[in-house]
A and B are shown apart, each in its own frame.
Chain A
Amino acid sequence: MATAQATTTTAPAAIPTLTPAPAPAREPSGRAWVARFPTSASVADCAPPFRDNLRAFIAAMDAAGASVNIAATLRPPQRAYLMHWCWCIVKQKADPRTIPPLDGVPIAWAHVDAQGNHDAAASLAGAQDMVEAYGMQALNVAPALQSNHISGTAVDMAISWNDNLTILRRDGASVTITSQPRTGMNPDLKMVGATYGVLKFVGGASDMPHWSADGH
C-alpha cells in the first residue's frame, strides 16, 4: 500500500524532447562517387570463416615459395549499389526518381534544375559519367547487387611458382605439386586449396583468378 502511494505521488521523470536528425544532404550522381567505397584487396576485409581459411591458404603458398598477388577481395555493397543503378539508368533507361535508396549512400540519382524541377538530362549525364568512370561502357548486363565478393567470401588472385611446389595441406600433410600449369589453375593446387575451404571457381578457365567459399 505504501509502495503504491509512493508510486502515485512520485513526479514523472522528464521525457527528453527528441528532435529528428536532419536528413543528410543528397549529392547528385556523378564521377565523384566512383572513388568512394573502393573494392578491397585485403584478406582482412573478408568475412569469417573464409577470411581465416584464405589467410591460411595464402600463408601455405607463401611458405612454399609461390607468388600470390591479390587483385580483389571485398566489394562493398555500397559500391555494388552505385555500379548497378548507374548502369540501369543508362542502359535500361531506369527512371532516376524511382531508384531505391541505400543507407549510407546519400546520392541523388534524380537531379533538379534551378527551379527545383526534375532534370532528366542532367540525371542521365550524371549516371553516364559514373558508368564511364567504372569502365562499364561496353558492359551488356547489370552489375550484380549480390555476389561472393560483396559478401566477403571471394578473392581474385594471381598465383605462380617455379619448378615443383611443396605445400602443406590444412591437415599438415605435405604435397609436392609437379604438374602443370604452375598457376592457380593447377588441379593439384585446387585440391590443396579445398582443404582450406578455399575453392577454385567451378566454371573452369573462364575466370582464372577467382576463388571463393563455395566455388562460385
Chain B
Amino acid sequence: MAIDAMTARRALAAALASTALLAACAAPPSTPDLAAFLERRATCDHFRGEVPDPPDPERMRAVEKGIAESCTGTDAQLAALRRRYRDDPVVSRQLAEFEDRVEP
C-alpha cells in the first residue's frame, strides 16, 4: 500500500513535470529581437571602449572589424525597439540605458 502511494506521487510529479515542460516548449520565444539587439550592442559597446592607446594600427584594425560587425545599424535598431516597446516599462528602462546615437 505504501509502495502504491509512493508510485502514485511519482506519477503525479512526472505528469506535472511533463506539463510544465510542454508549456515551456509551447511558449513563444520572448522578444528575440530585443535579445539579439542587447547582445549585439553589448559587443558594440565593448569594442567602443577598446580603441588602442597609443594608436596601434594592427589592434585598431581588429577593433574596427569588431565595430563593423557589432555596431552597424544599432542606432536605428535602438530607435525602432524603443518605439515598439514604449508601452513596456521594463524594456523601456532597459533600452533607456543605451546612448541614442553612437554612429556617425
Contact = CB atoms under 8 A, between A and B. Distances in A.
Interface in A126-181: 134-136, 138-144, 146-150, 156
Contacts, number: 92
Contacts of A216: 42, 46
A203 B50 CA distance: 13
A83 interface: yes
B56 to A, nearest CB: 8
A136 B42 CA distance: 21
A144 B64 contact: no
B20 interface: no
B49 A147 contact: yes
A207 interface: yes
Contact of B55 (A135, A144, A146): A135
Given A72-B53, A79-B53, A139 B46 contact: no
Nearest to A212: B46
A206 interface: yes
Contact of B51 (A71, A136, A206, A207): A136
B59 interface: yes
A75 B53 contact: yes
B2 to A, nearest CB: 46
A64 B102 CA distance: 43
Nearest to B55: A135
10 contacts: A38-B54, A135-B52, A135-B56, A138-B60, A140-B104, A141-B103, A143-B51, A201-B46, A206-B47, A210-B46
Interface of B: 42-57, 59-60, 62, 64-69, 71-72, 99, 101-104
Given A80-B49, A91-B104, A149-B50, 8 more contacts: A79-B53, A139-B67, A141-B71, A142-B48, A143-B49, A144-B49, A147-B45, A206-B62
